[in-house]
Structure 1
C-alpha cells in the first residue's frame, strides 16, 4: 500500500516537504513465489510512478524520485527461516513445519548454486507542497 497523496497534501503546510522511503513493487517476490507459487501482481500499487502521479494530482511537486533494486543473498535455509519469521507478510502462514518440503527444496538449490537470490525494491520520494 502506498501513502495517500490527498492526506499528504492536506497535512503539509505551504512550502512543506514530504520525504520518505517506501517498499517498491514485487519486493522479495522470489521468496514469496518459491513458497507460495505464482503470486498475483497485487503490488502494482507500490509502483513509484503511480505514487508520484497521485501526489501530483493532489497538488504536490515531485522534487526527487529514485528507485533501487537491492540483491538479497541467502547462503543457508536458516537465514531464510529467520527473515520469514521477521517479515511475516511475505509468507503469512510460514512455519518450519508447514514449509518443511519447500525448505528442503531450497536447501538443495543453495547446495547446488551456492546461494538463493531475491531482490528488495525500494523507492525514495521527495515531494513539496508549493508555497502560495
Structure 2
C-alpha cells in the first residue's frame, strides 16, 4: 500500500497564516466556500424572517452582525431597526442595510435596550450571544412576536474539544431552558424546533478563520496559544481528508399576550 503523502511544515504554516489574515468583521462566511460547509436548518430561517418582516409595521433585529441575513428580506417594514454590540460590525451593518432604510444602533452587550416600551410588533435575532427575555418582552407590543434561530448546547463540541478537551454544554443554550425563560418573562411559546447539522472543515486555514470569527467556540483562541493543537488537527485533516463536527441549532418563536 502506498504511503500517504504528508504536507510539509511550510504548508501548515502558510495555511495557518492565511486563515489568520482574513478579516472577520460581519457575519459573512463566504470565504469558507470550498474549505468548509455546514448543513442548513430544515425550517429555513431566512424564509421565516422574510415572511414575518413582510407583515410587520415596526421591527427590531437584535445582534444583527454585519446585517447580511436581515439584508435578504424582500419587503422591509415601515420602521426597521437593528442593533449590534461588536464595534467592527456596526459600520458594516450600516452599509449593508442602507438599501433597506434600516437604522443600525450600537448597543452594549447587556440590558437595557435603548428603546421605549412596546415599540415593536416584531423582534428577531439569528444566533444572538444572549437573549435578554425580559427586555424582549418589554419592547414588544401586546400581540407582537419574537422569532429567533439560536445556537444549541454543545454545538461543534468536537472542534472545541480538539483544543480544550471535554467541557459541559452551556445550560443557557438548551432549548427547554430558553423556552422556560421566555415563559417566565410573560411570553407564550408558539414554536420550538431543534436540529443537528453536519459541519465539515477541509483545511486548517478554515479552522483558524472559524475560531477567530465564532469566538465562543474556543474563547481564548489565538494561533500562538494553540499552535500544537492546530498542528495535530492539520495532520488529522491531511490523513482523513476532512474534520467533521456537528452544529446544533434551535428555532424559537414566542408571542406577547394581548
Distance, in Å, in 2 between the alignment partners of 1:25 and 1:70 is 13
Distance, in Å, in 1 between the alignment partners of 2:199 and 2:176 is 24
1:20 partnered with 2:148: yes
Unaligned runs of 5+ in 1: none
Instruction: Calculate the aligned-residue CA RMSD, in Å.
Output: 1.7
Task: Report which of the two has the higher share of helix.
Answer: 1
Give the match for residue 111 of structure 1: 238
Greater Rg over alpha carbons, structure: 2
127, 130, 139: which one aligns with 1:11: 139
187, 193, 199: which one aligns with 1:60: 187
Distance, in Å, in 1 between the alignment partners of 2:179 and 2:218 is 28
Please say if residues 75 and 114 of structure 1, whose CA atoms lie closer than 8 Å, have aligned partners that are also in contact: yes
Which range is displaced more, 110-119 or 120-129? Answer: 110-119
Higher RCO (CA-CA < 8 Å; seq separation 6+): 1
After TM superposition, give the deviation of residue 2 of structure 1 in Å.
4.2
Give the match for residue 86 of structure 1: 213
Q: TM-score, normalised by structure 2?
A: 0.47
Unaligned runs of 5+ in 2: 1-128
Cα deviation, 1:23-45, whole Å, max 9, x if unaligned, reads 1111222111110112233x111
SS in 1 for 2:195: strand
Q: TM-score, normalised by structure 1?
A: 0.86
Cα deviation, 1:88-117, whole Å, max 9, x if unaligned, reads 232233232322211121122212322111
Q: How many residues matched?
A: 130
